[in-house]
Structure 1
Amino acid sequence: MKKFTLHLKTISIVAFSTFLLAFSDPESIEQYVGNLQKSFTDHYDFSQESTQIKRYELNVTNNGFCRYKRYFNNGKTEYFSFKLSKFKDMDYYGNNISGKLYLYTKGEDVIVQTYKDRGGDVDSMATQVIIPLKNIEAEDLNLIKENFAKICGNQHP
């Protein structure tokens, strides 16, 4: 009888552990963020803006932000930032060679800051960020959208 009880306990523990693992997410937020950063780094198309832009910075951070900064040849700087949990949807306009990725937020959640502009420094809010991309396939775009969706589902507001 003791042997039967021991086997029953062992089976119960294994079954319960399997049940818990079935509903856990093996990937972490850091992995999704890393996937997004890699996609943006691999596919960013500097040539679409190279006549106006001196350099750029595009970062997806582990603390939950997407930051895009462009430094213009005339000295002007544009900075866009939004919290990843505010991501709503995305559209891609172009083809697999070149296009623009529109990242939409739930509301006016994109911080836009402009420095050294003719009209002075300006702080405003927007609903989208536009990122030029190149050499991107539909599967890559789907992966970007899936990573955003997973981050939004896993982060707490």
Structure 2
Amino acid sequence: MNKFTLSLRMSLFLSLSLILMAFTAHSLLDEQLVYIQKKLSEHHDNEHSGEQIKRYELNVTNNGFCRYKRYYLSGKIEYFSFNLVKFKDLDYYGTDKNGQLYLRTKGEDVIVQTYNDKKGGDVDSMATYMAIPLKNIEPQDLSDLLDRLVKTNAQLLAQK
């Protein structure tokens, strides 16, 4: 009887541990996604592109989608979106004052949509990267961002 009680206690403890670990993994993923959105938003550069951006929306959702939408003063709207499961690498071209961050995917996994463009009309296409203008970003921030994106990618792949 004593062995049975010990076995029951151990299996109960193991089950409880697994449940707690599952919640911890989910909160770590949420923490990574919040960090990525925060860094991209706080360093976003509205003034960098040739046309003036009226406003932008930059979201990293809890299911792993990175969405970037720019609204120009001319009425043109650009929308980019990809799932972080498809993330491959990032490149940054510029200085610590301003530059372009390229989030690269494994293939043509970035959805690109353009609306109200007087020159080219409405366009739907796919791309291999998403470019985000950044300002005042340090090399350490870029390194941390890359680490978080890689960890997020691995966590999202493990969930599938």
TM exceeding 0.5: yes
Please state how far the C-alpha of 1:121 moved relative to its aligned partner: 1.4
The separation in 1 between residues aligned to 2:100 and 2:27, in whole angstroms, is 28
The separation in 1 between residues aligned to 2:123 and 2:46, in whole angstroms, is 24
User: What 5-or-longer segments of structure 1 have no aligned partner?
Assistant: none
The residue matched to 1:75 in structure 2 has which SS?
Answer: coil
Gap change, CA 1:83 and 1:135, over 3 Å in 2: same
Match of 2:28 in 1: 28
Stretch moving more, 24-33 or 114-123 = 24-33
Instruction: Decide whether the 8 Å contact of 2:99 with 2:135 is kept in 1.
Output: yes
Please state how far the C-alpha of 1:106 moved relative to its aligned partner: 0.5
- Taking the TM superposition and a 5 Å limit, the aligned residue runs for 1:47-126 are 47-49=47-49, 51-118=51-118, 119-126=120-127
The separation in 2 between residues aligned to 1:132 and 1:96, in whole angstroms, is 12
Match of 2:142 in 1: 141
Gap change, CA 1:129 and 1:26, over 3 Å in 2: closer
The separation in 2 between residues aligned to 1:99 and 1:68, in whole angstroms, is 17
- Taking the TM superposition and a 5 Å limit, the aligned residue runs for 1:1-12 are none
Match of 1:38 in 2: 38
The separation in 2 between residues aligned to 1:68 and 1:108, in whole angstroms, is 16
The separation in 2 between residues aligned to 1:28 and 1:50, in whole angstroms, is 38
**Deviations, residues 41-91 of structure 1 (Å, cap 9, x unaligned):** 111111213742111111111121000001111111100000011100001
- Amino acid aligned to 2:140: E
**Deviations, residues 97-138 of structure 1 (Å, cap 9, x unaligned):** 111101100000000011112332111000011111111111
Match of 2:128 in 1: 127
Stretch moving more, 67-76 or 26-35 = 26-35
Runs of 4+ in 1 over 4 A off after TM superposition: 24-27
Matching of residue 150 in structure 1 with residue 154 in structure 2: no
Q: TM-score normalised to the size of structure 2?
A: 0.79
The separation in 1 between residues aligned to 2:156 and 2:88, in whole angstroms, is 14
User: What 5-or-longer segments of structure 2 have no aligned partner?
Assistant: none
What is the identity percentage for the equivalent residue pairs of Structure 1 and Structure 2?
55
Larger radius of gyration: 1
